[in-house]
Amino acid sequence: MNKGAPTQDRLIAAARGIFTRKGFDAASVREITREAGANLGAITYHFGSKQALYDAVLEDAFAPLSAVLEQARFAKGAPPLDRIERIVRAVFEKLGTTPELPLLIIQQVIRQGALPAPATRALGQVLGVLVPLLLAVSIWSQPVYFGLIRRLAPDHLLKASGGVPSMSAMADNAVGFIRRGLARAAED
C-alpha cells in the first residue's frame, strides 16, 4: 500500500482487496482502515458509510473501462467491426488487469439481487454501441446469406431444407426480430 497516496485512494485500494477476499458483510471498517493506514473515522469522513465506500470501489474499478467504451461508442467513421473489436478487447483487458472485478460483481448480485450501478452503466455503454451495430449486421446478413445459399447450394440441399425463404419472408423475420427486441427493451 502506498502510504503517500491520499487517504481516500488508500481506503479504496484496501477495501477492494478486503471486499474481494471476504465479501461486503464480512469486511470490517476497522480492518479496512488498518490496512489503509487511516484512522477509524476515515471511511465516514471520506465516504459517509461502508456501503458508499463499496460503491466507490466499484466506480473506481469500472472507470477505466467506461472511458474506453465511451471512446468506442463515439468513434464515428470507424468501421462497425473495428468498434466491436475495441469493445471486446477493452472488456477482456479490464478483466485481465482487474481480476477481482467479476467476484465483486457476483457478490453484489448475490447480496442485493442486482448488478452494481457502475456495472449497469458500463453494460449500457456496451449495448449502446453493440445493439445498433449488431442490428445493422443482422439486417444485412440475412439477405446476403440466403442470396449466397440460393446460388451456391446444390438443389437437393435446398429441397431437403424446404428451400430458401423468399426475400419477403426474410424481411418479415427480421422485422419481427427487431420488434420483439425493441418491445423487450421498452419493457425493461
Same domain as 143, residue 91 = yes
- pLDDT-derived band of residue 52, with 50, 70 and 90 as boundaries? very high
Query: Contact, 39 vs 69, CB < 8 A?
Result: no
Same domain as 111, residue 41 = no
* pLDDT for 77: 78
CB atoms inside a 10 Å sphere around CB 178: 13
Tell me the whole-structure pTM to 2 decimals.
Answer: 0.61
In a domain, 79, yes or no: yes
Same domain as 183, residue 149 = yes
Share of the chain above pLDDT 70, in %: 63
- pLDDT-derived band of residue 30, with 50, 70 and 90 as boundaries? very high
- pLDDT-derived band of residue 162, with 50, 70 and 90 as boundaries? low
Report how far apart, in Å, the C-alpha atoms of 156 and of each of 136, 142, 148, 151 are.
Answer: 32, 21, 16, 13
Q: Which three cell numbers stand for residue 28?
A: 470490517
Q: Which residues have CB under 8 Å from 39's CB, separation 6+?
A: 33
Same domain as 27, residue 70 = no
Same domain as 89, residue 173 = yes
| Long-range CB contacts (within 8 A, 24+) of 59-65 | 59/118, 60/12, 60/16, 61/16, 61/98, 61/100, 61/101, 61/104, 61/118, 62/101, 62/118, 62/119, 62/121, 62/122, 63/118, 64/94, 65/90, 65/91, 65/94, 65/122
pLDDT greater at residue 76 or residue 56:
56
* pLDDT for 41: 95
Q: What's the pLDDT tens digit per position in 41-50?
A: 999 999 999 9
Q: Pinpoint the alpha helices (H) of 23-154.
A: 29-36, 42-46, 50-73, 80-97, 101-112, 117-152
Same domain as 100, residue 76 = yes
User: Domain limits at 36?
Assistant: 1-48
In a domain, 31, yes or no: yes
Share of the chain above pLDDT 90, in %: 26
Nearest to 2 by CA among 27, 35, 44: 35
In a domain, 11, yes or no: yes
> What CATH number does residue 17 fall under?
1.10.10.60
Same domain as 82, residue 11 = no
In a domain, 54, yes or no: no
Q: Number of structural domains, the chain?
A: 2
